[in-house]
Amino acid sequence: MADRRNPLAATGETVRFNVRRLREASNLGYAELARRLKANGRGIPELGLRRIEEGERRVDADDLVALAVALDVSPITLLMPSTSDADGIVAMSAGTATAHQFWGWLAAETPLTGDAPSDVFGFILRSVPAWLLGTEIDLVESGLAPNQAFSVRRRVRELGQHTDGHD
């Protein structure tokens, strides 16, 4: 096989590993996963799924979302390296971080770099949908559990007080 000009990096390797892990844990064959994907409007044939798991086919953003739906997980589940240690170092395409840091970044809770309140506040404002920054009632009505809505609002309020002195 010829050298690939743009081989999979750490995140691509994680995705292919997680697709296989989740498919096997759900006792799904390639045919059933392909059927689910096709039913959801993003067909990937069995051979394509095998090639993904073998690292011979890339997963683009559309594939990632479709695979997450078909495997009944969040897209960040496919992106997160498997580890049982929150403080363990995990690899990603842009370097390394602790598992806890990487998960927080994937979940739009905290930046990978910069822990000053203004850094975190700016990250959240850039990363979280505008509707998520509404009132707690709006947040609960949007589908967040009350404790999640309160947590988001409290975090944004706390960070805002540290950056500009206003609530």
Task: Kindly list the domain boundaries of the chain, sorted by start residue.
Answer: 10-79, 108-164
| pTM of this structure | 0.78
- Reading the chain (167 residues) residue by residue, the pLDDT tens digits are 456 678 899 999 999 999 999 999 999 999 999 999 999 999 999 999 999 999 999 999 999 999 999 999 999 999 999 999 999 999 999 999 999 999 999 998 889 987 776 677 778 778 887 766 665 445 555 555 555 555 666 666 665 554 444 43
Run of H or E residues at 38: helix 30-39
Integer CA distances (angstroms), 15 to 8, 52, 116, 132, 164, in order: 10, 9, 31, 27, 40
CATH tag for 10-79 (out of 1.20.1280.50, 2.130.10.10, 1.20.120.1630, 1.10.260.40): 1.10.260.40
